[in-house]
Amino acid sequence: MADHAAFLRGINVGGHRISNAELGSVFEQMGFGEVAVFRASGNVVFDAGGEGAAAIAPRIEEALDETLGYAVPVFLRSATEVRAAAAHEPFDPEIVAASKGKLQVALLSERPTNSVRADVLGLATGADRLAFGERELFWLPSGGTLESELDQKTIEGLLGPSTMRTKGTIERIAAKHFAG
């Protein structure tokens, strides 16, 4: 059974293209089992076969760099972490339902310090709500993400690289691959 998810940054954007079958094949060639690619945006679930989490992300990054010819940051989560992010409700459900924007989840490589969290949360506005999970930043824009005035460059400067998914995507991955 799959026990991890790799969320990849920069897959199938900016002229870079890899099919789901090709992406899955990279993971299979690395010896991972139960590989499944969810959508064409760099979401791969797999069974790590007991390999320690600290070694997995760098190994995937190296294999993708060799295969694709460019660096692909990997944000690794265990099945338990994916379920926790999917279940986390950072904002009142009525506020989420009333928003024209989709709830976003920025997956981070590590848990930010309390000081950094405070600095990031200080950038929130009534139009762009922010909240933290464990290694996730939840963002509820009032409209489309491209229309937002949220200072994303400052946020990335504070948090480091991340990769963004809708919370709905995280919920669907949890339900389809990590239920139970």
Which residue reads 């064409």 in tokens? 40
pLDDT tens for the chain, 180 residues long, are 889 999 999 886 777 788 899 999 999 999 999 999 998 789 999 999 888 888 999 999 999 999 988 899 999 999 999 999 999 999 999 999 999 999 999 999 999 999 999 999 999 998 999 999 999 999 999 988 888 999 999 999 999 999 999 999 999 999 999 986
Which fold is adopted by the domain 4-82?
Alpha-Beta Plaits (3.30.70)
**What is the Cα–Cα distance from 93 to 52, expressed in whole angstroms?**
36
Domain ranges in the chain are: 4-82, 88-177
* Closest C-alpha among 77, 85, 12 to residue 42: 12
- Would you say 55 and 5 are in contact if contact means Cβ atoms under 8 Å apart? no
Q: Is the pTM of this model over 0.75?
A: yes
Nearest to 75 by CA among 162, 160, 12, 14: 162
Class of domain 88-177: alpha beta
Domain 4-82 and domain 88-177, same fold? Reply is yes
Per-residue pLDDT of 32-78, as tens digits, reads: 999 999 987 899 999 998 888 889 999 999 999 999 888 999 999 99
Q: How far is CA 174 from CA 3, 58, 82, in A?
A: 11, 23, 6
Which helix (DSSP H) or strand (DSSP E) does residue 105 occupy? strand 104-108
